[in-house]
Every structure is written in structure tokens, then in C-alpha cells.
Amino acid sequence: MDNHIVTETANTVRCLSMDAIQKANSGHPGLPLGCAELGALLYGEFLRHDPSSPAWLNRDRFVLSAGHGSMFLYSLLHLSGYGITLDDIKSFRQLGSKCAGHPEYGMAPGIETTTGPLGQGVANAVGLAMAETMMAARFNTQSHKIVDHFTYALAGDGCMQEGVAAEAASLAGHLKLGKLIVFYDDNNITIDGKTDLTFTEDVAARFTAYGWQVAKGDMYDLDGMRRLVSAAKADASRPSLIMLKSIIGKGAPTLQGSHKTHGAPLGAEEIAKAKEAMGIPPDAQFTVSREAVAFFEKRKAELAADHAAWEQLYAQWRTAQPALAKDLDAALAGKPVSAPLWPAFKTGEQTATRNASGKALLAVSAAWPQLVGGSADLTGPNVTQLAGESYSPVMRTGKMVHYGVREHAMASISNGLALYGGLRPFCATFLVFADYLRPALRLSALMKLPVIYVLTHDSVYIGEDGPTHQPVEHLASLRAIPNVRVLRPADAEETVEAWAMAMDRTDGPTVIALTRQNLPVFEKADKEWRETARTGAYVVRNTPDTPDVVVLASGSEVDLALKAAEKVPGKSVRVVSVLSLETFRSQPREIRETIAPRDARIVACEAGRSMGWDGIADTFLGIETFGESGPGSAVAAHLGLTVEALASLINA
């Protein structure tokens, strides 16, 4: 790429970004202006990709972790031929535009992940880089390397300050992800002003300590950046951080270098002067360099040819490795390679749902070889151990990932694994620590990624660990996130079905909330309960006539409800297991009323807050305060969660 074309491309990025943000009267011009040269080199030289085939398996991935600078990405996708038009750019930040305020996964080809919450993109990139090593180890052969590419990310000072990026970077160094390259837009500016207000650490020393290769350069030294990327690619055993000194808002004659360019339009006068300095008519709008357009048209053909050569290699691999090809097809389609051999349980058998989940997980892992995942240093308590060796720098085929005490990064990395394709991630911790991973779970839901969250120790029944570890508000808070499906199975059989439902889901994340304490496997009145449960609820204990009272309960409280119903002989009491409250609530009225008739009195019971049960139950028995330290059953009794209390409510 000729340096003159780099400049023409960079100036186009600047013009499109300034004009789009000014027209919208909203946006962040600082990063697009400051990093325009890097963007030109990324899409003009560094990235191996094919705009005509955005989902190409072996493409390099690029993540704009500093997602507020979205016009940087939109401008380059427009030039590169990803289907973002000038009209799309002119409608930046407007309803329905492909060019949303921050990059949104699925809204336009070439956007690899939703970014904006700072640091998430760095952790997503770690997940993508991990996925590349996993897929390469599983499907490459000595003769045919069908997976062999790099993952790039662009991060700013804000990303470097977020804890999730630190967690993920620490793990990436430990895992020796040599094909991960992160550019650091080192402009010493955040929204409040210069970074020395709060951020004076030695970032290079920190990343060196993590086990990264760290290099420093200048954002505007084109040949220097080329050399730095070449050196990064040459180091196969360390991820690379390329720190590039830059000027935020570069080219804005009176505002460059100021925090004022971070998140506000530059203004018509400033933009006119910036264009004049670039040799562009000050009144020209949405200017695109003809030379840059011509270059990228030629570049598209070269990239397509490279992709075509890979397709030949891929065809040869499929011929030589039909069994591997069949497995890859199944992995990319999210299908099992065999029927799962689900564990069976007997009525009356006592087992914690976390233990039943562990057995179901092994069945899932055998049937879906693409399943990968692990726990945030709680493998034993979560019961999430997989067979075989764990994933590591020397065992890239391992399915079990040890995340360490890094809940937030674990979930965000899981998003990266899901985004890659061909892998189905799960992650695990205690339910109470969902607070640590919630931002990434929200992005799982927003991007419709089928990540599975195994969250154990689901209530005050965990006992002696006390209120810091006893979830009370967590079920309600997770159900409040749109597109998150929360499953709280009531016995071992329901737990197996919860896993089946989770593996069937392709349009969003599933939370499986599990007990530490043993629960009995109970007889189900609905003989088609596995099918009915997919409506969110089914009848466990029925009555010969129309019920006077219907008790809706989830998880461990279904057993409580069954015992309470036996203590109210004078009433006709139906007990319903609500495996997924939000799914049940979303059903048409006629389905809900088949299970919980309108004329019956509805009592709900759950070891948590009542939020979410309103409008569906007439009265509720739960826990509206923090827990206590003591044996689980004693804590529950102290908080009023007893058979007698529920029986009294039923009988009221």
C-alpha cells in the first residue's frame, strides 16, 4: 500500500467521521481522527479478509474495543466494500441505520462484535484468539492448515483502565496467545481530561508482567507501524501490545489533543478548517478519495483471490479428511455428532441439581464435541469438570478452560468463543457472583449469543457462608435482562431437561441456576412434562377437579410446595414447577391458564425476591432481605421459608 494512498484513506476516514458526527449532532470524532492512519493500514495491508465473504472461516478478526469511535470502523468498512453505503453513513446514529452509535453485531457485515462498554472488546478478542487455537488444533492437519489467522483489536486509555481488560490480558499472557495483537491508542486523554488525573501506571510494564510482547511506536510513522506488526506476528508464544502514541482529534486545527474532541461534534467552522488543511474544499460533504476507492477496488480483487486459494486448500482438506469435515460441518451448524446419552434418575433419589448438571454436562460434551468452557476457579463446587486434559498452551485441543478468579473476563471471553463460530461455550460460577459477570451476560443477550451460564449455590440454603454468598435478588435481576433465559430446575430430571433446552437454544444465553443441597426426584403428574416444560412451567401435582389453589414454585421450593400441599387437606391444591418464569410469563394467556387457571387462587414461592412474580401470583412467599450465616435449613426457617408458612398461605 503506497503511503500516499494511506494518507488519502486516512483523510477519507477523517472527512466521513467529522461529517457524519456533525450531521447527527452526536458522536465521538477523537478516535477516528486520531487513528485514521492505523485504520488505513489495517484494512489496506494488515488484515486478511474478504469483503465479498464476510463470514469466511479463516479471516483475520478485528475488534474495535474502543467502540465509541465507531465511525472509524464504518468508514473503513465502506471503503473496503462491506456494504455500508454513503447513505448509511449519512444516517449515522439514526433509527434503523447500520451505522449505530456503537458497533452492533449483526447490523452490518464486518462488525465482529458489539462494543462500547470499554474493555469488553479486549476480552472478546482474547476469546476469538483462543477460538483460533482451538479450531486449528482440532481441524488442521500436517498437510492442510485451514485455520491460521490473527486477531486484532484497537483499545484506548479507557479500555486499559477497565478491570475486564486486565483480567482477560492476564489470562491471554498465561495462555501464550501469540496470534493476538492489540493496538493501544495511547493519546493520554479520557472524557474528564488528561489521563494523569487518574492513570499514571506503567502500562508497558504491566503487560510485560502479564507475559505479553510490548512494543512502542508512533501512530503516524507508517513504516514503523509496519515493522511493529511484523515483529508481533513473528512472536508465536506471546500476545502483542503495540502502544502507539497518538493525538486525539488529529487534524482539528484548534481542538486536536483536547478531551473536547472525545465525544462531541467538532462544529462546522472547525471541520471546514480541518478539510482546508487536508486540501479538501471546506464546504465539501462526505468526501471520499477517488484514489482510495480505486485502491480498495483492486484490494478487494486481491483479497478475493487469496480467499479462493484458501478454498482450494479447504477442498483438498475435505477430500483428504472426510471425518474431520463432517465434524466441522456439525460444529459450524451447532449440531451434535451423536444422540446425547442423558443420565437417568429414579423417583425419590436425592441429589443436588449441581451434581445432576455435572452428569448432564458430560453427556453434552460427548454429543457436542464443540462444547468448551469452564469455571472461575470453582470447578469442583460448580461440578463442571470435563473429561480429558484441560486447554493450555501445550494442549490446544482441551475442552476444559480454567479461567481463574476472573468472572467478568470469563463471560466476555465466552462471548468471543461464541462469536468465532464452531464452538459452544459455557462458563460457571456461584449465582451470587453473577454480579461480577453481568455486563458480559447483558452483551450475550444483546448479541443473541447462545452462551450457557452455569450458576450454582442458588439460594440461602447454602447456609454457613452467610449473606455475602447467599443470592437473594439475583434471580430477579437476571430475569430482568431482555433475552436472557433463566432456568431453575427443581430436581435432577428437570436439570437434564434444562441442559437439553439450553443446547437447543441458538438465539441468546441461558442461565441454569442450581442447588448445592440435595433435592428429591419427584413424580410428575404431567406425563408429557418435558415438552410442557418448554412453555416455562408444568403441573407436578394435580387435582381430580378444578384446583382451589395453584402453587407456582421454582427450584428447591417445588419440594417445599409439594410438602405444604399435603398439609392442606381441605383444599384442592395444584403444584406447578416454573422452570423458567420469564418464558412462562411470555406465553399466551390460554396456555398460562391451562396450567394456572384464572379462577384459582395463585400462590408463588421462591427463595428470593418477589420481583417478576407480580401480576402472575396473588400472594408470594419468598425472601425480601439479605440472609444470615448458619446451616441452610436454619437460615431458611429464620427467614420464614418453611413448609408451615407456605401451607398457611395456601390455606388463607
- Tell me the C-alpha distance between 192 and 263, whole Å: 11
Q: Which three cell numbers stand for residue 563?
A: 410438602
Judge whether 407 counts as a catalytic residue.
Answer: yes
At residue 469, what are phi and psi to the nearest 5 degrees? -110, 0
CB under 8 Å, gap of 24 or more: what pairs does 381-387 form?
Answer: 381/354, 381/430, 381/456, 381/457, 381/516, 382/354, 382/428, 382/429, 382/430, 382/454, 382/456, 383/354, 383/355, 383/357, 383/358, 383/456, 384/358, 384/426, 384/428, 384/454, 385/358, 386/361, 386/362, 387/362
Q: Are 488 and 555 in contact (CB under 8 A)?
A: yes
- Quick one: which H or E segment has residue 541? strand 537-541
CA-nearest of 50, 110, 41 to 302 is 50
Closest-CA residue to 635 (of 542, 491, 516):
516
Maximum C-alpha span of the chain: 89
Alpha helices in 144-250 (DSSP H): 157-161, 163-175, 203-210, 222-234
Where do we find the cell 492437519? 141
- The rounded distance, in Å, linking the Cα atoms of 251 and 257 is 10
Phi and psi angles of residue 374, each rounded to the nearest 5 degrees, phi first: 175, -165
Cell 486447554 -> residue:
391
Q: Are 578 and 475 in contact (CB under 8 A)?
A: no
Backbone angles phi, psi at 256, to 5 degrees: -60, 145
Query: Contact, 597 vs 604, CB < 8 A?
Result: no
Query: Cα(318)–Cα(340) distance, rounded to whole angstroms?
Result: 26
Q: Which residues pair with 601 in a beta bridge?
A: 549
Asked if 232 and 46 count as a contact pair (C-beta separation under 8 A), the reply is no
Q: Which are the contacts of 218, defined by CB distance < 8 A and separation ≥ 6?
A: 224, 225, 244, 245
Residues 363, 341: contact at Cβ < 8 Å? yes
Beta strands in 15-105 (DSSP E): 61-64
State the pairing for strand pair 193-194/151-156.
unpaired
66-97 in b/e form (b: 16+ CB < 10 A) is bbbbbbbbbbbbbbbbbebeeebbbbbbeeeb
Q: Catalytic residue among 104, 270, 407, 493, which?
A: 407
Q: Which residues of 239-276 are buried (b: 16+ CB within 10 A; e: fewer)?
A: bbbbbbebbbbbbbeebbbbbbbbbbbbeeebbbbbbe
What are the distances in angstroms from CA 600 to CA 205, 282, 575?
Answer: 66, 73, 12
Three-state secondary structure call for residue 68: helix
Give whole-number Cα distances, 377 to 388, 405, 406, 420, in Å: 18, 5, 8, 24
Residues with a catalytic annotation lie at: 407
